[in-house]
Amino acid sequence: MGQRCADTRAVTFENVVVPDENRIGDEGYGFKLAMGAFDRTRPVVGASAVGLAQRAHDESIKYAQQRKTFGQPIIGHQAVAMMIAEMNMGIEASRLLCHKAAWLIDNGYPSNTLYASMGKAMASDVAMKSATDAVQVFGGYGYNTEYPVEKLMRDAKIFQIYEGTSQIQRLIILKNELATGKHDVK
C-alpha cells in the first residue's frame, strides 16, 4: 500500500535460546525494556508524520493557488481554505507535542510516555487527515499517480498503525492520566 521502500516482514522465532551473556537486562525484563524503547522512538515517528502532513499542506497550497474554477484560484473558495487552515493547525499542534516528548528525553525527565503517545497519536491522525484533505483539494487529480498526494495518502496510513496503533496510544494516554491524576509534567 504505502511506504513501499520499507520492506516490512513478520519474523518468528521458535525454540530459541539466548545465552545469559548475550541477554540484555534481567530475565523477564525484555517486554518492559522493549516498551521503554517506544518512549524514544514514538516522538521520531510522530515527527515523520508531521513531515508528511506538512508536505500534504504545502502541495495543497501550491495546487490551490494554481487551479482555477469560476474565474478564481480554488484557494479563494471557503471550503478549500478551511481544509488547508485545519491542516496547518493540526501540523503545528502535532509538532509541539513531538517536540515536548523529545525535550523531556533530552532533559533527563524520568518518563515521557504520556507525551510520546500524545505526539505520535496526534501526528499520525493529522498526517492521515491532511493527506486525505489534500486528495480532496486536488479533486480527481488527487487520485491520480501523476500527482504526489495520492502517495502521501497511502504512506500516511502506516503512521496510525506502527509503533502502537492510534487506539493503543489513546489507552496509554488515559492510563497515564488516571495513574497520575494529572496530564502535565511539572
Residue carrying the nine cell digits 516522538 = 43
Rounded to an integer, what distance in angstroms lies between the CA atom of residue 39 and that of residue 100? Answer: 12
> Could you give the angle at the alpha carbon of 125 between the alpha carbons of 65 and 138, nearest 5°?
25
Query: 40, 105 in Cβ contact below 8 A?
Result: yes
- Residue 163 annotated to the active site: yes
Task: Pick the closest to residue 89 from 65, 131, 54, 49 (CA basis).
Answer: 54
Per-residue b or e along 51-82, where b marks 16 or more CB atoms closer than 10 Å to that residue's CB? ebbbbbbebbbebbeeeeeeeeebbeeeebee
CA 80 to chain centre: 23
Which candidate in 21, 59, 150, 163 is catalytic? 163
Catalytic residue ranges: 163
